[in-house]
């Protein structure tokens, strides 16, 4: 899946998104709001760092973390838990 962020396009493997969708499948309706919010905050932190310092993606470890964060974000969005209603 192609995801655009800060004017750049990134290719996120569907397999990675599906993995996180399965990992997070039990969260909707679980009442585990604190854990879901912690996930959101962690993802937002990573995305904010990249927005402020895009050159950080030149480091392979940061690129990996960033792509995983985008995959988690997409999985949470597809499960309806990325945002509170």
Query: Tell me: the pLDDT tens digits for 5-30?
Result: 888 899 999 999 999 999 999 999 88
Q: Work out the burial of residue 79: count CB atoms within 10 Å of its CB; fewer than 13 is exposed, 13-18 middle, 19 or more buried.
A: middle
Check residue 8 and give its pLDDT: 87
Torsion angle defined by CA atoms of residues 50, 73, 14 and 59, in that order, rounded to the nearest 10 degrees: 20
Query: Tell me: the pLDDT tens digits for 36-73?
Result: 999 999 999 999 999 999 999 999 999 999 999 999 99
Using 50, 70 and 90 to split pLDDT, how confident is the model at 81? very high
Of the candidates 81, 57, 42, which has an alpha carbon nearest to the alpha carbon of residue 5? 57
Structural domain spans, the chain: 2-79
Q: Is 9 helix (H, G, I), strand (E, B) or coil?
A: strand
Q: Note the pTM of the prediction, 2 decimals.
A: 0.90
Check residue 22 and give its pLDDT: 97
Mean per-residue pLDDT, 75-82: 94
**Look-up of token digits 């997409």:** 74
């Amino acid at each position: 899946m192609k995801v655009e962020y800060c004017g750049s396009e990134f290719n996120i493997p569907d397999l990675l998104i599906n993995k996180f969708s399965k990992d997070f499948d039990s969260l909707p309706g679980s009442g585990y709001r604190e854990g879901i919010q912690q996930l959101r905050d962690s993802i937002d932190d990573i995305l904010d760092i990249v927005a402020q310092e895009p050159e950080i993606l030149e480091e392979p470890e940061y690129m990996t973390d960033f792509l995983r964060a985008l995959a988690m974000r997409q999985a949470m969005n597809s499960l309806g838990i990325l945002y509170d209603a």
